[in-house]
């Protein structure tokens, strides 16, 4: 499997959805959700957008230097978007508070992704 290509595709799709969901939130949901729920939705959009960029960057680095740390970083970013942003989207729209227990797992996935990206970036040799 070409992970570089996959992460570039997933990053671009996540970026597209960031813009679409952000517009949906701003134009449809802001007046319909309670302020706290809208803040959760907005936070989900924000973190999805940041990690869409991280996925794109990971895909580009993988083209230069395919290594396991970068592959794992990409999967952590994908998992983080699903767990963190996904749980906040559902929580903000449904109010099912039990989903709040999933959100920190997404945050841990993001943190692991950034550490793995640092390790993988170090292995690329671009720092020399």
Q: pLDDT value at position 45?
A: 98
d(CA 119, CA 127): 12
Please answer whether residues 25 and 42 qualify as being in contact, where contact means their C-beta atoms are separated by less than 8 angstroms: yes
d(CA 119, CA 128): 15
Please answer whether residues 46 and 21 qualify as being in contact, where contact means their C-beta atoms are separated by less than 8 angstroms: no
- DSSP single-letter state for residue 53: H
Place of tokens 């099912």: 96
Q: pLDDT value at position 127?
A: 59
Range of the domain at 105: 3-123
Residue 8 lies in a domain: yes
Place of tokens 């952000």: 22
Residue 128 lies in a domain: no
Residue 9 lies in a domain: yes
Q: pLDDT value at position 100?
A: 85
Q: pLDDT value at position 128?
A: 58
Overall number of domains in the chain: 1
Please answer whether residues 53 and 19 qualify as being in contact, where contact means their C-beta atoms are separated by less than 8 angstroms: no
All residue ranges of the chain with pLDDT < 70 are 126-128
Please answer whether residues 58 and 108 qualify as being in contact, where contact means their C-beta atoms are separated by less than 8 angstroms: no
Residue 92 lies in a domain: yes
Residue 10 lies in a domain: yes
């Amino acid at each position: 499997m070409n992970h570089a290509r996959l992460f570039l595709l997933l990053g671009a799709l996540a970026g597209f959805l960031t813009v679409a969901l952000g517009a949906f939130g701003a134009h449809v949901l802001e007046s319909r959700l309670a302020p706290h729920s809208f803040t959760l939705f907005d936070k989900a959009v924000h973190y999805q957008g940041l990690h869409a960029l991280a996925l794109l960057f990971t895909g580009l680095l993988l083209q230069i230097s395919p290594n396991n740390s970068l592959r794992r970083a990409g999967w952590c970013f994908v998992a983080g978007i699903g767990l963190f942003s996904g749980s906040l989207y559902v929580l903000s729209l449904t109010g099912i508070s039990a989903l709040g227990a999933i959100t920190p797992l997404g945050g841990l996935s993001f943190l692991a992704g950034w550490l793995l990206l640092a390790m993988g970036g170090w292995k690329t040799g671009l720092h020399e």
